[in-house]
């Protein structure tokens, strides 16, 4: 009798053990499936990782794949060949702070409120020289201007509920990285200690990418999808390239200042290669979207490391045009798109759509991976503002120009702030560098494009 009970107990024990092992094997198989090839750090989620690479002060022509005769950018050439690459890409405004704010929000500057680099200070008069960045009351004015980032819904804010972790590196004007919704970052944002536009974050790229490597390792270990903001202070001044690169360009450049800028472009390219290599080394390529854009254009003067007219801060192609790339292996077919236009306002909608989210109605951009939406677009608009902002809350007070491109025709409309208020019209298909003004020859088109600008935004400057 005792042996019968013992036998039953043994049978029951074996059945329980088999159930436990079965559950364990099922759980392991489920985990193995979730961490299969291509998922990388996504932790069982189908959501892609996102890396946004942002150049700082570089002309749309200054890449190998865009046809520059001397500048070598092999890593970005390779990225362009692997991407849906829009050679007719644009930013709405040609100044770094408002341009970056558009990339992180998906909104036009007059919508998100950040329209220039430096806000007004008490007693400011038009044309007055800006005081030192740490002077009072200018310091307080800069702190007050952070109200706009605090009120903004950023891309990291939108990705966080989906399980994403976000890292800020490089250029960042909006105080501490956490104000932008980032979980980790380099910029402290102490306005009294060089926190104006990035402080410690500006070391990325120029001094390696250790912070990105560490963040990727942590994300992989935790199986968390991620967003990386890589906005190095490159090729931005100071133009201090490695001597090996300067030696390469000095013999072929028309001046030393041009040689330095060209060398900076290749140095930036090398830093982009380091980021792309870091993804590949961790097996993250297949499930990572890499986006590329430049914050604004740059035409280097021949006599100094400064920008020439009709580039940075201007409404001309030299200020607002940039290649825009989207790489997502297995999801995006590589293509060099030379006809259809893209804008930096499209970056946030594109990421959200790829993450399986509906595009919020308040975002004016399109999903660049939606071929029908891209094909259906025939115009882009934008706005240029003062470097030194005239009002904390009224974008129109700082407006210099509005611009619109419809197909190949471009209209530049100066505001009341500008001494020359002549409308300018160019055919970019035949005249990409805007040398021949057609406004007097095509008054009908000037009127039509002006009406379209007013339908978009018709402010009154003061």
- Beta partners for 427? 409
Give the CA distances from residue 372 to residues 323, 325, 339, 349, 367, in Å, rounded to whole numbers and listed in that order.
Answer: 20, 18, 14, 15, 10
CATH code of the region 44-376? 3.40.720.10
pLDDT score, position 3:
43
pLDDT score, position 307:
98
Give the CA distances from residue 301 to residues 28, 39, 249, in Å, rounded to whole numbers and listed in that order.
Answer: 62, 46, 16
pLDDT at 54 over 80: yes
pLDDT score, position 129:
65
CA 196, CA 174: separation in Å to the nearest integer?
8
Percent of the chain's residues with pLDDT above 90:
83
pLDDT tens figures, 374-395: 999 999 999 999 999 999 999 9
pLDDT at 425 over 50: yes
pLDDT score, position 12:
45
pLDDT tens figures, 114-158: 999 998 876 666 556 666 666 777 788 889 999 999 999 999 999
Domain ranges for the chain? 44-376
pLDDT tens figures, 315-348: 999 999 999 999 999 999 999 999 999 999 999 9
Confidence category of residue 303, pLDDT binned at 50, 70, 90: very high
DSSP characters over 318-349: HHHEEEEEEE-TTTS--EEESSS-EEGGGHHH
**Structure-block tokens of residue 14:** 């074996």
User: For the whole model, what pTM was predicted?
Assistant: 0.90
């Amino acid at each position: 009798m005792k042996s019968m009970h013992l036998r039953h107990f043994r049978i029951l024990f074996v059945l329980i053990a088999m159930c436990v092992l079965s559950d364990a094997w099922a759980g392991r198989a489920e985990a193995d499936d979730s961490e299969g090839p291509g998922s990388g750090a996504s932790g069982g989620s189908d959501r892609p990782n996102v890396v946004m690479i942002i150049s700082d002060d570089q002309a749309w022509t200054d890449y190998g794949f865009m046809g520059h005769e001397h500048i070598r950018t092999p890593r970005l050439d390779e990225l362009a060949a692997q991407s849906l690459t829009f050679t007719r890409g644009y930013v709405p405004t040609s100044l770094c702070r408002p341009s970056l704010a558009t990339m992180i929000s998906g909104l036009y500057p007059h919508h998100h409120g950040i329209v220039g680099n430096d806000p007004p200070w008490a007693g400011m008069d038009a044309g007055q020289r800006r005081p030192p960045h740490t002077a009072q009351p200018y310091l307080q004015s800069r702190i007050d201007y952070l109200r706009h980032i605090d009120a903004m819904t950023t891309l990291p804010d939108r990705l966080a509920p989906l399980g994403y972790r976000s890292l800020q590196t490089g250029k960042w004007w909006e105080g501490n990285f956490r104000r932008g919704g980032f979980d980790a970052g380099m910029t402290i944002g102490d306005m009294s200690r060089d926190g104006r536009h990035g402080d410690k974050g500006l070391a990325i790229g120029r001094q390696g990418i250790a912070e990105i490597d560490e963040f990727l390792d942590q994300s992989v270990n935790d199986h968390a999808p991620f967003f990386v903001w890589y906005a190095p202070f490159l090729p931005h001044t100071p133009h201090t390239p490695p001597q090996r690169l300067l030696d390469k360009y000095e013999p072929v450049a028309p001046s030393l200042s041009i040689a330095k800028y060209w060398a900076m472009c290749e140095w930036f390219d090398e830093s982009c290669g380091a980021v792309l290599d870091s993804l590949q080394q961790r097996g993250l390529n297949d499930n990572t979207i890499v986006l590329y854009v430049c914050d604004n254009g740059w035409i280097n003067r021949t006599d100094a490391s400064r920008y020439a007219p009709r580039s940075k801060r201007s409404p001309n192609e030299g200020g607002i045009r940039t290649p825009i790339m989207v790489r997502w292996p297995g999801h995006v077919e590589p293509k060099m798109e030379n006809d259809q236009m893209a804008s930096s306002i499209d970056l946030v909608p594109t990421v959200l759509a790829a993450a399986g989210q509906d595009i919020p109605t308040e975002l004016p951009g399109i999903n660049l991976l939606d071929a029908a939406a891209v094909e259906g677009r025939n115009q882009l608009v934008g706005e240029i503002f003062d470097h030194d902002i005239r009002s904390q809350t009224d974008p129109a007070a700082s407006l210099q120009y509005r611009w619109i491109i419809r197909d190949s025709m471009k209209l530049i409309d100066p505001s009341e702030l500008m001494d020359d208020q002549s409308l300018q019209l160019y055919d970019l298909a035949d005249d990409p560098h805007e040398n021949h003004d057609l406004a007097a020859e095509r008054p009908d088109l000037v009127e039509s494009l002006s009406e379209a600008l007013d339908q978009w935004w018709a402010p009154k400057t003061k």
